[in-house]
Structure formats: structure tokens, C-alpha cells
A and B are shown apart, each in its own frame.
Chain A
């Protein structure tokens, strides 16, 4: 993993580019964009990356002696912190929205530890609140948080993220003959062109990192 404090000594142009492309900041930026554009919560980017990011952010606060460099470092710090905070914020918003859904599916494993604690507290509080204010006064068969009535087979009171919404994205490399799942359509995705497709169809590609949401 490349962090910003490594020595750069006359790298040829395209190596430098690929080096930059894999810095922590770049990865965080990617994660942020994907998270923003996706209707559901995505895998939490590895713990270590975020931690390393936070540490380097602290370190760089001390560098530089003259006011110019100090202010530039500060700007850089602010920018990176913005990305970090916004990323965490969006995730929290999504957790709040879909908390019951997260609890009962395996999306749970995509959250970080603190997020899991947050989600648990959220659901507990929400349950208690609904119980006390409304549910306990409803007739017997209708008191569940998750189901509309005892007669329901599924948990139909749980809002689910809208997975079939359309998203904009850019493909990183060409993908030939990509199969859209429900129709028999086959689509060619050329590198660097902008496409709009249903989130459902491209979900696996996002996970494997082949496309980037815009």
C-alpha cells in the first residue's frame, strides 16, 4: 500500500501515474464516490486503510515551517478529512434508513464494528419507541415491528433499499458482452464511456472493482 510519505526519485511518467492511482486518498475517493452513488450500503473499505489514513492525517499536521507550506498542508488535510467524514456520514445515513433490513440480512457483515454497534443501538431505540407509542395499543395480531400482521408471511414492514434503480458509471477496462440479467440483452462496455444501467445488473462488477460509479 502506497502512502504519501514515500520518497519519489525520478519515476517515469506512467509509473508515477499508477502510483498515484493507488494511494490511500485515491482509494478513499473511489470508495466515497461508489458509496454516494449506490442505493445500498457497500462493503466497508478495509479497516487498516481508514486507520492509516487517519494517522497520516495527524502526522502531516506537524510538517512545514513557513506559513505557506503549513497552509498548504492544512488544505490537503482538510480535503482528505472531508472525504473521510463524508464517507462515514453517508454510510451512517444509509444505516439509519435501512436499519431493520441490515439487521436481518448478511449486509450486517459489510459494516465496521462501530457501525454495527450504532446499528444495534438504532434498532433497539426504534423498537422501543414504536412499541411504547403505537404498537402496544394496537390489537394483538398487529404488534410486530417487522410484519404488518401475524398473518403476513414475510417481514413486510421493513423498508428495503431500492436495488433496481439506475446508476451512472464508467467502465475501467473494456468488458465484452456483458449479460444484463433479466432480459437476454448483451451489452458491450467500452472503457471510459459513461453508461446508465440498473444497479442490479452491475452490482457484481462494482464489487470486483471493474467499474466505477460516477
Chain B
């Protein structure tokens, strides 16, 4: 289609979404002594053995890889909490449960690099997989209900990675609807209208509780 903007410039790759997720703060327990770090993005430390401190995820993973700390999994990442969330996701057909915006990335990085710091790590991993599947299924069903020109879509509690995955499809779909559903496109036959006539611009706001 001539004039269609190049979709590739504006897409975040999965690695870039992970990059953004790596700036989330997590708690670590260092096992060594280190002076404060004066990094460009802020100051962290001082690091003292057995005293918990907050650092960005990328820093935590780097320290963990060098055996300098243990990472405390965030409190939403326990088997109990996650089971609750999974239940709730399954029970509500259209709503998403509140989860941290970068929960996918955080869970992935922690289970890859800090496996021994997470109690029941396999259970946690499989719960998160299930949650992802249920949520994504909801997104897909929700997308099927877009059938007319939509001006605004509200996606409460969707996470970064999920939004990024559906972004290309949703943008093209909404654009196509916008273009083809516009009242100027539909000719206004004066007498025998065989087709159902579109009444002015209905474009409702879809306030679906996604």
C-alpha cells in the first residue's frame, strides 16, 4: 500500500523491551563489602554483607553472576501469590489482574540467573507460563470483538511484553477499520439502499474492561 508507514522503525524488539525491564528495582543481599557506586543513572550502595539494598535488575544480575550477592525475589513472585493471580485470571473473562508492568521480563531474568534464590522455582515458572497463556488468550478474544471504527481502546493492566507483541496487529487493524469504516467512504444511495446505511460517525469509545 503506497504511503503506508514503515512498521519497522517504530517497533520495539523483544530485547529492547527486556532492556527497559532491566531498569526495574529489585532487592539484593550482598555477601561482600563494596563502596557506593556512582553510576550515571544514580547512586547505589554502600554494599555491606547481609544488609539488603535496592538496585536495578541489570546490576543485580551482574553481581549475581559474579557470585557477589543473592537476589530476593519480589513478593509478587511467590507460589501463593501467583496461584491467586492465576485463579483470578481464569475467573474473570475480560479483566486483567494487576501485575507489574515488566513481570515477564523480571520473571525471565530472575529464573535464568537467580534460580537458587527462588523457592519452588519450577512451580513459579510454570505458574507464570500459565498466567501468560491465559492473559494472551484474553487479548486475542478481545481483539476479535473489534468490528467497527474505534477511536480509543483502553487496556487496563496489560504488561509491556504483551502490549509489544500485539502492537503491530492492533495498529494495522485499527487503521484499516478507521479507513474503511469512515462515513465518507460509504456512498449514500438515495433510493433503494440494498446495503445497510451507516448512520453518521458512530465511532464509539471502546471502554472495554480489557
Contacts and interface: CB of A to CB of B under 8 A. Distances in A.
Given A93-B9, A159-B3, A20 B42 contact: yes
Contacts of B154: 193-195
Nearest to B32: A68
Interface in A67-110: 68-69, 71-73, 75-77, 79-80, 82, 90, 93-94, 97
Interface stretch (A125-133, A137-145, A147-155, A160-168): A160-168
A193 to B, nearest CB: 5
B155 interface: yes
B167 A26 contact: no
B85 to A, nearest CB: 18
Interface in B1-41: 3-6, 9-12, 19-20, 23, 34-41
B66 A68 contact: yes
B141 interface: no
Contacts of B203: 183, 185
Interface residues of B, number: 47
A4 interface: yes
Most A CB within 10 A of own CB, among B62, B154, B155: B154
Nearest to A159: B3
Interface string B137-161: 0000000000000011111111010
Interface stretch (A34-42, A116-124, A203-211): A34-42
B39 A4 contact: yes
Contacts of A193: 154-157
Contacts of A79: 19, 41, 58
Contacts of B66: 68
A16 to B, nearest CB: 8
A5 interface: yes
A195 B62 contact: no
A39 B151 contact: no
13 contacts: A3-B40, A5-B38, A8-B36, A25-B40, A36-B10, A38-B10, A53-B40, A56-B40, A68-B66, A69-B34, A79-B58, A180-B205, A182-B201
Given A79-B19, A161-B5, A185-B203, 7 more contacts: A76-B41, A80-B41, A97-B9, A166-B171, A167-B171, A196-B153, A196-B155
